[in-house]
């Protein structure tokens, strides 16, 4: 009987000593459920505004910083009012167009220029286009990578105000480079409050802080008319 017990224990040892296997699967399922809650919350939105602080890194060292207010209205109308480093500039985009309007001085709205959304002049330092800045695009990015990329070492932390998780993904711009993301979601509105992007060697690429959301405030269409 003792021999039978020891034999059974021998076969159970791999399961006892590797609790991460079922735990990681459970964590991945939790992250997918969070993405579903984000999607459901976004579907209820007609519009939102938020303030964004972005830091971009070069070889792991802080390189550039941007601050702006983002206005969004369905169907994908986007306005970005910069406060740093271009304190008077706005970029305006509407879904279906292949160009965005740049107003260099908000106090002189008649002065404006039109650029292709693919132009490097109006992309972020990381190469993100203006039509990739809304939360609907980001939620689509989450689902795509949760279902197509192995989520190794899944991590998730939760408290009363937010939930934070890691995501293994291809970069959200060209979908060529494997990266690790650390994402915090506010439980107040199920929208991101912080997005950290890292290379596989652990060096930061980009860190974004998103503050002061206002949702469903009935933004006027005129805001998005260049």
Give pLDDT tens digits for 49-102: 999 999 999 998 999 999 999 999 998 999 999 999 999 999 999 999 999 999
List Cα–Cα distances, 33 to 37, 150, 155, 179, 214, in angstroms. Answer: 6, 17, 14, 22, 24
Domain boundaries, the chain: 23-224
HEC-encoded secondary structure of 28-62: HHHHHHHHHHHHHHHHCCCEEEEEEEEEEEECCEE
**Whether pLDDT at 6 is above 50:** no
Question: Which 3 state secondary structure label does DSSP give 179?
Answer: strand
User: Predicted confidence band at 154 (pLDDT cuts at 50, 70, 90)?
Assistant: confident
pTM of the model: 0.85
Q: What is the pLDDT of residue 167?
A: 94
C-alpha 206/C-alpha 63 separation (Å) is: 10
Q: Which residues pair with 183 in a beta bridge?
A: 165, 195
Rounded to whole angstroms, how far apart are CA atoms 170 and 177?
5
CATH of 23-224, one of 2.60.40.1930, 2.130.10.30, 3.40.50.300, 2.50.20.10: 2.50.20.10
Burial class (CB in 10 A: 0-12, 13-18, 19+), 84: exposed
| Residue 216 pLDDT exceeds 80 | yes
Q: What percent of the chain has pLDDT over 70?
A: 89
Choose the weakest-confidence range: 2-11, 97-106, 209-218.
Answer: 2-11
Indicate whether 12 pLDDT > 60.
no
d(CA 142, CA 169): 8
Bridging pattern class, strands 77-84 and 113-116: unpaired
* 178, 203 Cβ separation under 8 angstroms: no
**Is the per-residue pLDDT at 108 higher than 60?**
yes
Tell me what the pLDDT averaged over the chain comes to.
Answer: 89
At 24 the pLDDT is 67
Q: What is the pLDDT of residues 171-195, one digit of tens each?
A: 878 888 899 999 999 999 999 999 9
What pLDDT, on the 0 to 100 scale, is given for residue 155?
A: 87
- Which residues are CB-neighbours of 151 under 8 A, at least 6 positions away? 24, 27, 28, 31, 167, 168
């Amino acid at each position: 009987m003792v021999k039978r017990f020891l034999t059974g224990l021998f076969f159970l040892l791999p399961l006892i000593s590797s609790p991460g296997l079922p735990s990681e699967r459970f964590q991945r399922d939790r992250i997918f459920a969070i993405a579903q809650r984000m999607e459901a919350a976004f579907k209820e939105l007609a519009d939102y505004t938020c303030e964004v602080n972005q830091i971009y890194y070069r070889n792991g060292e802080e390189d550039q910083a941007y601050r702006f207010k983002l206005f969004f209205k369905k169907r994908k109308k986007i306005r970005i009012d910069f406060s740093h480093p271009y304190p008077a500039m706005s970029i305006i985009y509407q879904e279906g167009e292949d160009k965005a309007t740049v107003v260099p001085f908000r106090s002189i709205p008649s002065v404006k220029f039109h650029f292709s959304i693919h132009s490097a002049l109006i992309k972020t330092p990381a190469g993100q286009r203006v039509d990739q800045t809304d939360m609907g695009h980001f939620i689509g990015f989450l689902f795509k990578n949760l279902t197509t990329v192995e989520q190794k070492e899944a991590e998730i932390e939760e408290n009363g105000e937010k939930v934070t998780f890691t995501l293994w993904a291809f970069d959200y711009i060209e979908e060529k480079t494997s990266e690790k993301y650390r994402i915090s979601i506010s439980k107040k509105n199920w929208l991101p409050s912080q997005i950290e992007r890292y290379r596989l060697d652990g060096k930061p690429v980009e860190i974004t802080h998103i503050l002061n959301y206002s949702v469903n405030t009935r933004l006027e269409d005129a805001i998005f008319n260049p």
